[in-house]
Chain A
Protein backbone atom coordinates (compact mmCIF):
# COMPACT_ATOMS: atom_id res chain seq x y z
CA UNK A 1 0.00 0.00 0.00
CA UNK A 2 1.20 3.46 -0.79
CA UNK A 3 1.62 6.05 1.95
CA UNK A 4 -0.91 8.79 1.33
CA UNK A 5 -0.85 12.42 2.42
CA UNK A 6 -2.61 15.76 2.47
CA UNK A 7 -0.96 18.81 0.97
CA UNK A 8 -2.93 21.89 2.02
CA UNK A 9 -1.98 25.03 0.12
CA UNK A 10 -3.12 28.14 1.98
CA UNK A 11 -2.43 30.37 -1.02
CA UNK A 12 -5.28 28.63 -2.86
CA UNK A 13 -7.74 28.49 0.06
CA UNK A 14 -10.71 30.86 -0.21
CA UNK A 15 -12.06 30.17 3.28
CA UNK A 16 -15.31 28.60 2.08
CA UNK A 17 -15.27 25.86 4.76
CA UNK A 18 -16.59 23.27 2.29
CA UNK A 19 -13.96 20.89 3.75
CA UNK A 20 -15.37 21.34 7.26
CA UNK A 21 -18.89 20.68 6.04
CA UNK A 22 -17.96 17.71 3.85
CA UNK A 23 -16.02 16.17 6.75
CA UNK A 24 -18.97 16.58 9.11
CA UNK A 25 -21.42 15.19 6.58
CA UNK A 26 -19.36 12.15 5.68
CA UNK A 27 -18.15 11.28 9.16
CA UNK A 28 -21.34 12.24 10.99
CA UNK A 29 -19.40 14.61 13.29
CA UNK A 30 -21.58 16.47 15.82
CA UNK A 31 -22.03 20.26 15.78
CA UNK A 32 -19.68 22.60 17.64
CA UNK A 33 -22.30 24.75 19.31
CA UNK A 34 -23.36 28.12 17.97
CA UNK A 35 -20.69 30.56 19.02
CA UNK A 36 -19.80 33.86 17.41
CA UNK A 37 -16.15 34.24 18.33
CA UNK A 38 -15.52 37.67 16.87
CA UNK A 39 -12.14 36.41 15.65
CA UNK A 40 -12.25 37.09 11.93
CA UNK A 41 -14.57 34.58 10.21
CA UNK A 42 -13.50 31.74 12.48
CA UNK A 43 -16.23 30.45 14.77
CA UNK A 44 -14.82 26.98 15.45
CA UNK A 45 -11.43 28.27 16.67
CA UNK A 46 -9.51 24.99 16.76
CA UNK A 47 -9.52 21.34 15.84
CA UNK A 48 -11.35 19.19 18.37
CA UNK A 49 -13.60 16.20 18.88
CA UNK A 50 -16.29 17.82 16.73
CA UNK A 51 -14.00 19.65 14.27
CA UNK A 52 -11.71 17.44 12.20
CA UNK A 53 -11.04 20.04 9.48
CA UNK A 54 -10.73 23.63 10.61
CA UNK A 55 -10.32 26.68 8.37
CA UNK A 56 -8.11 29.33 9.94
CA UNK A 57 -8.50 33.01 9.11
CA UNK A 58 -5.11 34.58 9.64
CA UNK A 59 -4.92 38.35 9.71
CA UNK A 60 -1.52 39.99 9.56
CA UNK A 61 0.47 42.92 8.27
CA UNK A 62 0.86 42.93 4.53
CA UNK A 63 3.90 42.10 2.46
CA UNK A 64 3.89 44.71 -0.29
CA UNK A 65 4.11 43.45 -3.81
CA UNK A 66 2.52 40.08 -3.33
CA UNK A 67 -1.17 39.41 -3.77
CA UNK A 68 -1.93 42.96 -4.86
CA UNK A 69 -2.37 44.38 -1.36
CA UNK A 70 -1.80 48.01 -0.58
CA UNK A 71 0.36 48.83 2.44
CA UNK A 72 -2.60 50.14 4.47
CA UNK A 73 -4.52 46.89 4.15
CA UNK A 74 -3.82 43.81 6.21
CA UNK A 75 -3.49 40.45 4.53
CA UNK A 76 -6.18 37.87 5.04
CA UNK A 77 -5.02 34.33 4.62
CA UNK A 78 -6.95 31.11 4.95
CA UNK A 79 -5.67 27.67 5.74
CA UNK A 80 -7.53 24.45 6.35
CA UNK A 81 -6.01 22.70 9.35
CA UNK A 82 -6.27 18.98 10.00
CA UNK A 83 -4.69 16.17 12.05
CA UNK A 84 -1.04 16.06 10.97
CA UNK A 85 -0.85 12.22 10.85
CA UNK A 86 2.69 12.36 12.27
CA UNK A 87 5.45 10.04 11.10
CA UNK A 88 6.11 9.43 14.83
CA UNK A 89 2.75 10.06 16.48
CA UNK A 90 2.64 10.97 20.18
CA UNK A 91 -1.00 9.91 20.53
CA UNK A 92 -0.37 6.52 18.95
CA UNK A 93 2.61 5.73 21.16
CA UNK A 94 0.82 6.88 24.32
CA UNK A 95 -2.46 5.02 23.72
CA UNK A 96 -2.59 2.31 26.42
CA UNK A 97 -5.35 0.24 24.79
CA UNK A 98 -3.87 -0.04 21.31
CA UNK A 99 -6.95 1.74 20.01
CA UNK A 100 -4.81 4.18 18.01
CA UNK A 101 -3.14 2.43 15.10
CA UNK A 102 -1.16 3.17 11.94
CA UNK A 103 -3.25 2.24 8.92
CA UNK A 104 -1.97 0.61 5.74
CA UNK A 105 -2.08 4.10 4.19
CA UNK A 106 0.29 5.48 6.86
CA UNK A 107 -2.44 7.46 8.62
CA UNK A 108 -3.10 7.56 12.36
CA UNK A 109 -6.51 6.12 13.20
CA UNK A 110 -8.47 5.83 16.47
CA UNK A 111 -10.48 2.59 16.52
CA UNK A 112 -13.74 3.76 18.13
CA UNK A 113 -14.69 0.26 19.27
CA UNK A 114 -11.56 0.00 21.43
CA UNK A 115 -10.98 3.52 22.83
CA UNK A 116 -11.97 3.68 26.50
CA UNK A 117 -11.55 7.43 26.85
CA UNK A 118 -8.50 7.52 29.15
CA UNK A 119 -7.54 10.91 27.73
CA UNK A 120 -3.79 10.30 27.51
CA UNK A 121 -3.68 10.97 23.75
CA UNK A 122 -5.09 14.45 24.46
CA UNK A 123 -1.97 15.51 26.38
CA UNK A 124 0.54 13.70 24.15
CA UNK A 125 -0.46 15.26 20.82
CA UNK A 126 2.06 18.02 19.98
CA UNK A 127 -0.58 19.82 17.90
CA UNK A 128 -3.61 19.82 20.22
CA UNK A 129 -5.61 17.77 17.73
CA UNK A 130 -7.01 14.82 19.68
CA UNK A 131 -9.90 15.63 21.99
CA UNK A 132 -12.29 13.68 24.18
CA UNK A 133 -16.00 14.14 23.47
CA UNK A 134 -17.56 14.75 26.90
CA UNK A 135 -20.94 13.38 25.79
CA UNK A 136 -19.58 10.26 24.15
CA UNK A 137 -16.56 9.68 26.40
CA UNK A 138 -14.16 8.63 23.65
CA UNK A 139 -11.37 10.48 21.86
CA UNK A 140 -11.92 11.68 18.30
CA UNK A 141 -9.94 13.23 15.49
CA UNK A 142 -9.57 13.10 11.70
CA UNK A 143 -9.66 9.48 10.50
CA UNK A 144 -7.97 10.41 7.21
CA UNK A 145 -11.26 9.04 5.85
CA UNK A 146 -9.92 5.54 6.39
CA UNK A 147 -13.21 4.08 5.15
CA UNK A 148 -13.11 6.09 1.92
CA UNK A 149 -9.44 5.32 1.35
CA UNK A 150 -10.16 1.61 1.75
CA UNK A 151 -12.77 1.97 -0.99
CA UNK A 152 -10.26 3.75 -3.23
CA UNK A 153 -11.85 7.18 -2.70
CA UNK A 154 -10.11 10.38 -1.63
CA UNK A 155 -11.05 11.91 1.78
CA UNK A 156 -14.27 13.95 1.83
CA UNK A 157 -12.51 17.28 2.48
CA UNK A 158 -10.18 16.96 -0.50
CA UNK A 159 -13.09 15.84 -2.68
CA UNK A 160 -15.15 18.88 -1.69
CA UNK A 161 -12.39 21.50 -1.92
CA UNK A 162 -13.37 23.74 -4.87
CA UNK A 163 -9.92 25.29 -5.41
CA UNK A 164 -7.65 22.26 -4.99
CA UNK A 165 -6.20 23.89 -1.92
CA UNK A 166 -6.47 20.45 -0.31
CA UNK A 167 -4.62 17.88 -2.37
CA UNK A 168 -4.70 14.21 -1.51
CA UNK A 169 -2.44 11.52 -2.93
CA UNK A 170 0.82 9.65 -2.69
CA UNK A 171 2.90 11.39 0.00
CA UNK A 172 6.20 11.45 -1.93
CA UNK A 173 4.42 12.72 -5.03
CA UNK A 174 2.66 15.47 -3.02
CA UNK A 175 5.99 16.59 -1.54
CA UNK A 176 7.35 16.99 -5.07
CA UNK A 177 4.24 18.94 -6.12
CA UNK A 178 4.62 21.17 -3.05
CA UNK A 179 8.25 21.97 -3.80
CA UNK A 180 7.31 22.91 -7.37
CA UNK A 181 4.51 25.11 -6.09
CA UNK A 182 6.83 26.96 -3.69
CA UNK A 183 9.39 27.51 -6.46
CA UNK A 184 6.66 28.89 -8.70
CA UNK A 185 5.36 31.24 -6.00
CA UNK A 186 8.88 32.46 -5.23
CA UNK A 187 9.48 33.09 -8.94
CA UNK A 188 6.26 35.10 -9.00
CA UNK A 189 7.46 37.32 -6.15
CA UNK A 190 5.67 35.68 -3.21
CA UNK A 191 8.93 35.06 -1.40
CA UNK A 192 7.39 34.50 2.03
CA UNK A 193 5.74 31.22 0.93
CA UNK A 194 7.18 28.10 2.51
CA UNK A 195 6.34 24.50 3.35
CA UNK A 196 5.61 23.62 6.96
CA UNK A 197 6.58 20.00 7.58
CA UNK A 198 8.64 19.42 10.77
CA UNK A 199 10.92 16.74 9.35
CA UNK A 200 13.86 17.80 11.51
CA UNK A 201 11.89 17.55 14.75
CA UNK A 202 11.36 14.39 16.83
CA UNK A 203 7.96 14.06 15.14
CA UNK A 204 9.92 13.16 12.01
CA UNK A 205 7.65 14.91 9.54
CA UNK A 206 3.91 14.81 8.99
CA UNK A 207 1.70 13.15 6.41
CA UNK A 208 -0.49 16.26 6.32
CA UNK A 209 1.68 19.26 5.54
CA UNK A 210 1.00 22.85 4.61
CA UNK A 211 2.10 25.68 2.36
CA UNK A 212 1.90 28.89 4.39
CA UNK A 213 3.00 32.50 4.04
CA UNK A 214 5.23 34.18 6.58
CA UNK A 215 5.81 32.85 10.09
CA UNK A 216 4.07 29.45 10.40
CA UNK A 217 3.43 30.18 14.06
CA UNK A 218 0.74 32.70 13.11
CA UNK A 219 -1.17 29.61 11.91
CA UNK A 220 -0.47 27.93 15.29
CA UNK A 221 1.93 25.58 13.55
CA UNK A 222 4.81 25.01 16.03
CA UNK A 223 8.36 25.34 14.76
CA UNK A 224 9.78 22.50 16.84
CA UNK A 225 7.09 20.01 17.97
CA UNK A 226 8.37 17.48 20.52
CA UNK A 227 7.37 13.83 20.48
CA UNK A 228 6.64 12.98 24.16
CA UNK A 229 8.26 9.54 23.79
CA UNK A 230 11.64 11.29 23.53
CA UNK A 231 11.12 12.43 27.14
CA UNK A 232 10.79 8.86 28.42
CA UNK A 233 14.51 8.42 29.00
CA UNK A 234 14.96 11.37 31.39
CA UNK A 235 11.57 10.61 32.98
CA UNK A 236 12.25 6.94 33.72
CA UNK A 237 15.84 7.74 34.79
CA UNK A 238 14.46 10.14 37.38
CA UNK A 239 11.86 7.55 38.43
CA UNK A 240 14.54 4.87 38.79
CA UNK A 241 16.69 7.20 40.89
CA UNK A 242 13.72 8.06 43.10
CA UNK A 243 12.67 4.40 43.43
CA UNK A 244 16.23 3.43 44.35
CA UNK A 245 16.41 6.17 46.97
CA UNK A 246 13.07 5.09 48.48
CA UNK A 247 14.07 1.41 48.58
CA UNK A 248 17.54 1.97 50.05
CA UNK A 249 16.27 4.70 52.37
CA UNK A 250 13.55 2.43 53.75
CA UNK A 251 15.79 -0.62 54.20
CA UNK A 252 18.61 1.37 55.83
CA UNK A 253 16.30 3.42 58.03
CA UNK A 254 14.69 0.29 59.48
CA UNK A 255 17.95 -1.65 59.61
CA UNK A 256 19.69 1.12 61.58
CA UNK A 257 16.92 2.82 63.54
CA UNK A 258 14.51 -0.11 63.80
CA UNK A 259 17.12 -2.16 65.69
CA UNK A 260 18.36 0.73 67.82
CA UNK A 261 14.86 1.27 69.16
CA UNK A 262 14.75 -2.43 69.93
CA UNK A 263 18.04 -2.37 71.91
CA UNK A 264 17.10 0.80 73.73
CA UNK A 265 13.89 -0.78 74.93
CA UNK A 266 15.70 -3.96 75.98
CA UNK A 267 18.02 -1.93 78.25
CA UNK A 268 15.15 -0.29 80.09
Chain B
Protein backbone atom coordinates (compact mmCIF):
# COMPACT_ATOMS: atom_id res chain seq x y z
CA UNK B 1 0.00 0.00 0.00
CA UNK B 2 1.18 3.47 -0.79
CA UNK B 3 1.44 6.46 1.50
CA UNK B 4 3.02 9.86 1.27
CA UNK B 5 6.78 9.14 1.64
CA UNK B 6 5.86 6.85 4.57
CA UNK B 7 5.32 9.97 6.67
CA UNK B 8 2.86 9.65 9.57
CA UNK B 9 -0.66 10.90 8.90
CA UNK B 10 -1.63 11.41 12.53
CA UNK B 11 -0.08 13.61 15.20
CA UNK B 12 1.17 11.83 18.33
CA UNK B 13 -0.37 12.84 21.67
CA UNK B 14 1.31 15.96 23.05
CA UNK B 15 0.60 14.96 26.66
CA UNK B 16 3.49 15.02 29.11
CA UNK B 17 4.09 12.62 32.05
CA UNK B 18 1.44 14.34 34.17
CA UNK B 19 -1.40 12.83 32.13
CA UNK B 20 -0.61 9.10 32.61
CA UNK B 21 0.32 9.93 36.22
CA UNK B 22 -3.14 11.46 36.62
CA UNK B 23 -4.77 8.39 35.04
CA UNK B 24 -3.19 6.39 37.87
CA UNK B 25 -3.82 8.81 40.75
CA UNK B 26 -7.36 9.76 39.70
CA UNK B 27 -8.31 6.15 39.02
CA UNK B 28 -7.04 4.90 42.38
CA UNK B 29 -8.72 7.80 44.22
CA UNK B 30 -12.03 7.16 42.45
CA UNK B 31 -12.03 3.45 43.28
CA UNK B 32 -11.02 4.25 46.88
CA UNK B 33 -14.15 6.38 47.30
CA UNK B 34 -16.24 3.40 46.15
CA UNK B 35 -14.46 1.05 48.58
CA UNK B 36 -15.01 3.56 51.37
CA UNK B 37 -18.79 3.58 50.91
CA UNK B 38 -18.94 -0.21 50.47
CA UNK B 39 -16.96 -0.71 53.68
CA UNK B 40 -19.13 1.79 55.55
CA UNK B 41 -22.33 0.03 54.46
CA UNK B 42 -20.96 -3.33 55.61
CA UNK B 43 -20.74 -2.23 59.21
CA UNK B 44 -18.83 -0.40 61.95
CA UNK B 45 -16.16 -3.15 61.96
CA UNK B 46 -14.71 -1.48 58.82
CA UNK B 47 -14.63 2.05 60.23
CA UNK B 48 -10.84 2.49 60.01
CA UNK B 49 -10.75 1.07 56.49
CA UNK B 50 -13.56 3.38 55.38
CA UNK B 51 -11.82 6.41 56.90
CA UNK B 52 -8.53 5.52 55.17
CA UNK B 53 -10.40 5.08 51.88
CA UNK B 54 -12.02 8.52 52.21
CA UNK B 55 -8.62 10.08 52.85
CA UNK B 56 -7.04 8.31 49.88
CA UNK B 57 -9.89 9.59 47.70
CA UNK B 58 -9.51 13.16 48.97
CA UNK B 59 -5.72 13.25 48.66
CA UNK B 60 -5.86 11.66 45.20
CA UNK B 61 -8.48 14.13 44.02
CA UNK B 62 -6.43 17.07 45.21
CA UNK B 63 -3.31 15.71 43.48
CA UNK B 64 -5.24 15.11 40.27
CA UNK B 65 -6.18 18.69 39.51
CA UNK B 66 -2.61 20.08 39.73
CA UNK B 67 -1.34 17.23 37.52
CA UNK B 68 -3.89 18.02 34.82
CA UNK B 69 -3.35 21.76 35.06
CA UNK B 70 0.42 21.31 34.74
CA UNK B 71 -0.05 19.47 31.46
CA UNK B 72 -2.07 22.25 29.82
CA UNK B 73 -0.35 24.40 27.24
CA UNK B 74 -1.87 27.40 29.01
CA UNK B 75 -2.22 26.37 32.68
CA UNK B 76 -3.61 29.79 33.68
CA UNK B 77 -6.67 29.02 31.55
CA UNK B 78 -7.59 25.79 33.37
CA UNK B 79 -10.97 27.22 34.41
CA UNK B 80 -12.00 27.25 30.73
CA UNK B 81 -12.48 23.49 31.24
CA UNK B 82 -15.65 24.37 33.14
CA UNK B 83 -16.76 26.99 30.61
CA UNK B 84 -19.08 24.53 28.84
CA UNK B 85 -20.33 20.99 29.43
CA UNK B 86 -20.09 18.73 26.40
CA UNK B 87 -21.28 15.14 26.85
CA UNK B 88 -19.80 14.30 23.44
CA UNK B 89 -16.32 15.17 24.73
CA UNK B 90 -14.80 12.65 27.19
CA UNK B 91 -12.34 15.38 28.22
CA UNK B 92 -15.22 17.70 29.17
CA UNK B 93 -17.06 14.90 31.02
CA UNK B 94 -13.79 14.10 32.81
CA UNK B 95 -13.14 17.71 33.84
CA UNK B 96 -16.62 18.04 35.32
CA UNK B 97 -16.38 14.62 36.98
CA UNK B 98 -13.09 15.60 38.59
CA UNK B 99 -14.63 18.86 39.81
CA UNK B 100 -17.55 16.99 41.43
CA UNK B 101 -15.29 14.24 42.75
CA UNK B 102 -12.84 16.75 44.19
CA UNK B 103 -15.60 18.63 46.00
CA UNK B 104 -17.30 15.44 47.24
CA UNK B 105 -14.21 13.59 48.41
CA UNK B 106 -12.78 16.67 50.12
CA UNK B 107 -16.06 17.44 51.88
CA UNK B 108 -16.25 13.79 52.97
CA UNK B 109 -13.19 14.23 55.18
CA UNK B 110 -13.41 17.88 56.25
CA UNK B 111 -17.08 18.79 56.83
CA UNK B 112 -17.93 18.52 60.58
CA UNK B 113 -21.60 17.56 60.04
CA UNK B 114 -21.91 13.77 59.79
CA UNK B 115 -24.98 13.74 57.50
CA UNK B 116 -23.30 16.12 55.07
CA UNK B 117 -20.14 14.01 55.23
CA UNK B 118 -22.08 10.86 54.38
CA UNK B 119 -23.83 12.59 51.50
CA UNK B 120 -20.48 13.85 50.24
CA UNK B 121 -19.10 10.30 50.45
CA UNK B 122 -21.96 9.11 48.27
CA UNK B 123 -21.27 11.87 45.71
CA UNK B 124 -17.57 10.97 45.77
CA UNK B 125 -18.32 7.26 45.27
CA UNK B 126 -20.70 7.89 42.35
CA UNK B 127 -18.28 10.25 40.60
CA UNK B 128 -15.42 7.94 41.68
CA UNK B 129 -16.87 5.17 39.52
CA UNK B 130 -16.59 7.51 36.52
CA UNK B 131 -13.10 8.64 37.62
CA UNK B 132 -11.81 5.06 37.62
CA UNK B 133 -13.12 4.18 34.15
CA UNK B 134 -13.57 7.27 31.97
CA UNK B 135 -9.86 7.61 31.18
CA UNK B 136 -10.27 4.49 29.04
CA UNK B 137 -13.02 6.28 27.12
CA UNK B 138 -10.76 9.32 26.80
CA UNK B 139 -8.10 7.25 25.03
CA UNK B 140 -10.46 4.93 23.16
CA UNK B 141 -12.55 7.62 21.46
CA UNK B 142 -9.68 9.10 19.44
CA UNK B 143 -8.11 8.51 16.04
CA UNK B 144 -4.94 6.85 17.42
CA UNK B 145 -5.09 3.30 15.95
CA UNK B 146 -3.94 1.28 18.98
CA UNK B 147 -6.31 3.17 21.30
CA UNK B 148 -9.40 3.06 19.13
CA UNK B 149 -8.88 -0.62 18.30
CA UNK B 150 -9.09 -1.32 22.05
CA UNK B 151 -11.99 1.00 22.78
CA UNK B 152 -13.93 -1.89 24.43
CA UNK B 153 -10.97 -2.98 26.54
CA UNK B 154 -9.48 0.29 27.83
CA UNK B 155 -12.27 1.41 30.23
CA UNK B 156 -12.45 -2.09 31.76
CA UNK B 157 -8.67 -2.45 31.87
CA UNK B 158 -8.19 0.93 33.53
CA UNK B 159 -11.13 0.26 35.86
CA UNK B 160 -9.64 -3.04 37.04
CA UNK B 161 -6.27 -1.36 37.44
CA UNK B 162 -7.84 1.47 39.47
CA UNK B 163 -9.69 -0.95 41.75
CA UNK B 164 -6.54 -3.01 42.31
CA UNK B 165 -4.46 0.06 43.18
CA UNK B 166 -7.09 1.36 45.62
CA UNK B 167 -7.12 -2.03 47.38
CA UNK B 168 -3.32 -1.99 47.39
CA UNK B 169 -3.12 1.46 48.97
CA UNK B 170 -5.56 0.44 51.70
CA UNK B 171 -3.62 -2.75 52.42
CA UNK B 172 -0.35 -0.85 52.58
CA UNK B 173 -2.05 1.44 55.11
CA UNK B 174 -2.33 -1.64 57.30
CA UNK B 175 -5.92 -2.71 56.58
CA UNK B 176 -6.08 -6.49 56.61
CA UNK B 177 -9.39 -7.37 55.01
CA UNK B 178 -10.59 -10.46 53.16
CA UNK B 179 -12.85 -8.20 51.11
CA UNK B 180 -9.88 -6.18 49.85
CA UNK B 181 -7.97 -9.38 49.15
CA UNK B 182 -10.87 -10.84 47.19
CA UNK B 183 -11.32 -7.69 45.10
CA UNK B 184 -7.59 -7.43 44.42
CA UNK B 185 -7.54 -11.12 43.43
CA UNK B 186 -10.37 -10.53 40.99
CA UNK B 187 -8.57 -7.57 39.44
CA UNK B 188 -5.28 -9.50 39.23
CA UNK B 189 -7.05 -12.38 37.47
CA UNK B 190 -8.52 -9.95 34.94
CA UNK B 191 -5.15 -8.27 34.42
CA UNK B 192 -3.56 -11.67 33.78
CA UNK B 193 -5.85 -12.33 30.81
CA UNK B 194 -4.04 -12.06 27.49
CA UNK B 195 -6.66 -9.53 26.31
CA UNK B 196 -5.29 -6.92 28.71
CA UNK B 197 -1.73 -7.16 27.36
CA UNK B 198 -1.76 -6.20 23.72
CA UNK B 199 1.73 -4.94 22.99
CA UNK B 200 5.06 -6.71 22.79
CA UNK B 201 6.96 -3.68 24.08
CA UNK B 202 8.90 -4.01 27.33
CA UNK B 203 6.96 -1.40 29.32
CA UNK B 204 3.57 -2.97 28.60
CA UNK B 205 4.91 -6.46 29.28
CA UNK B 206 6.33 -5.25 32.60
CA UNK B 207 3.11 -3.41 33.48
CA UNK B 208 1.10 -6.52 32.68
CA UNK B 209 3.30 -8.81 34.77
CA UNK B 210 3.29 -6.46 37.78
CA UNK B 211 -0.52 -6.03 37.57
CA UNK B 212 -1.49 -9.63 36.80
CA UNK B 213 0.51 -12.81 37.43
CA UNK B 214 2.94 -11.42 40.03
CA UNK B 215 0.35 -10.11 42.56
CA UNK B 216 -1.86 -13.12 41.78
CA UNK B 217 0.89 -15.54 42.78
CA UNK B 218 1.87 -13.45 45.82
CA UNK B 219 -1.74 -13.38 47.05
CA UNK B 220 -2.07 -17.15 46.67
CA UNK B 221 0.90 -17.39 49.07
CA UNK B 222 -0.80 -14.79 51.30
CA UNK B 223 1.95 -12.19 50.75
CA UNK B 224 -0.61 -9.40 50.58
CA UNK B 225 1.62 -6.38 51.12
CA UNK B 226 4.16 -7.52 48.52
CA UNK B 227 1.27 -8.11 46.12
CA UNK B 228 -0.05 -4.63 46.87
CA UNK B 229 3.30 -3.00 46.14
CA UNK B 230 3.60 -4.88 42.85
CA UNK B 231 0.06 -3.89 41.90
CA UNK B 232 0.73 -0.19 42.51
CA UNK B 233 3.83 -0.21 40.31
CA UNK B 234 1.97 -2.21 37.66
CA UNK B 235 -1.00 0.13 37.68
CA UNK B 236 1.22 3.19 37.24
CA UNK B 237 3.24 1.47 34.50
CA UNK B 238 0.03 0.42 32.71
CA UNK B 239 -1.03 4.03 32.16
CA UNK B 240 2.43 5.09 30.93
CA UNK B 241 2.60 2.03 28.66
CA UNK B 242 -0.72 2.86 27.00
CA UNK B 243 0.13 6.53 26.41
CA UNK B 244 3.49 5.41 25.01
CA UNK B 245 1.75 2.84 22.81
CA UNK B 246 -0.40 5.67 21.45
CA UNK B 247 2.68 7.71 20.67
CA UNK B 248 4.24 4.96 18.55
CA UNK B 249 0.90 3.97 17.02
CA UNK B 250 0.40 7.53 15.71
CA UNK B 251 3.54 7.06 13.59
CA UNK B 252 2.00 4.03 11.89
CA UNK B 253 0.75 5.58 8.65
CA UNK B 254 -0.50 2.24 7.26
CA UNK B 255 -3.07 1.77 10.05
CA UNK B 256 -4.17 5.40 9.81
CA UNK B 257 -4.87 5.37 6.07
A68 to nearest B CB, angstroms? 23
Q: Are A94 and B89 in contact (CB under 8 A)?
A: yes
Q: Are B179 and A257 in contact (CB under 8 A)?
A: yes
Chain B neighbourhood of A58, CB < 8 A: 4
Size class of the A contact interface (CB-based, 8 Å)? 35 or more
Count the B residues whose beta carbon is within 8 Å of the partner chain — how many?
A: 82
A120 CA / B160 CA spacing, docked (Å):
24
Q: Are B182 and A253 in contact (CB under 8 A)?
A: yes
Q: Are A254 and B179 in contact (CB under 8 A)?
A: yes
Known A-B contacts A119-B73, A258-B177; A231 and B141 likewise in contact (beta carbons under 8 Å):
yes
Q: Are A118 and B81 in contact (CB under 8 A)?
A: yes
Q: Does A63 contact B (CB under 8 A)?
A: no
Q: CB < 8 Å: which of A94, A235, A254 contacts B140?
A: A235
Q: Does A172 contact B (CB under 8 A)?
A: no
Q: Are A217 and B11 in contact (CB under 8 A)?
A: no
Interface of A is mostly: mixed
Q: CB < 8 Å: which of B8, B125, B132, B136 contacts A46?
A: B8
In chain B, residues 59-80, which have Cβ atoms closer than 8 Å to a Cβ of chain A? Answer: 71-75, 77-78, 80
Q: CB < 8 Å: which of A90, A98, A234, A239 contacts B143?
A: A90
Q: Does A124 contact B (CB under 8 A)?
A: yes
Interface of B is mostly: helix
Q: Are B9 and A127 in contact (CB under 8 A)?
A: yes
Q: Are B136 and A239 in contact (CB under 8 A)?
A: yes
Q: CB < 8 Å: which of B37, B46, B86, B147 contacts A98?
A: B86
In chain A, residues 81-130, which have Cβ atoms closer than 8 Å to a Cβ of chain B? Answer: 90, 93-99, 114-120, 122-128, 130
A120 CA / B62 CA spacing, docked (Å):
22
Q: Are A97 and B73 in contact (CB under 8 A)?
A: no
Q: Are A261 and B178 in contact (CB under 8 A)?
A: yes
1/0 contact string of B85-105 vs chain A (CB within 8 Å): 010111110110000000000
Q: Does B202 contact A (CB under 8 A)?
A: no
1/0 contact string of B27-67 vs chain A (CB within 8 Å): 00001001101110111011000000000000000000000
Chain B neighbourhood of A232, CB < 8 A: 88, 90, 137, 141
Q: Are B80 and A116 in contact (CB under 8 A)?
A: yes
1/0 contact string of B122-150 vs chain A (CB within 8 Å): 00010001101110111011111001100
Q: Are A238 and B155 in contact (CB under 8 A)?
A: yes
Q: Are B78 and A116 in contact (CB under 8 A)?
A: yes
A234-B152, A256-B179 known, 5 other contacts, Cβ within 8 Å? A46-B8, A116-B73, A118-B81, A257-B177, A258-B178
Give B residues with C-beta under 8 Å from A: 1-5, 7-11, 13-15, 31, 34-35, 37-39, 41-43, 45-46, 71-75, 77-78, 80-81, 83-84, 86, 88-92, 94-95, 125, 129-130, 132-134, 136-138, 140-144, 147-148, 151-156, 158-160, 162-163, 177-180, 182-183, 186, 246, 250, 253, 256-257
- 3 A-B pairs closest in CB distance: A117-B73, A137-B73, A242-B159
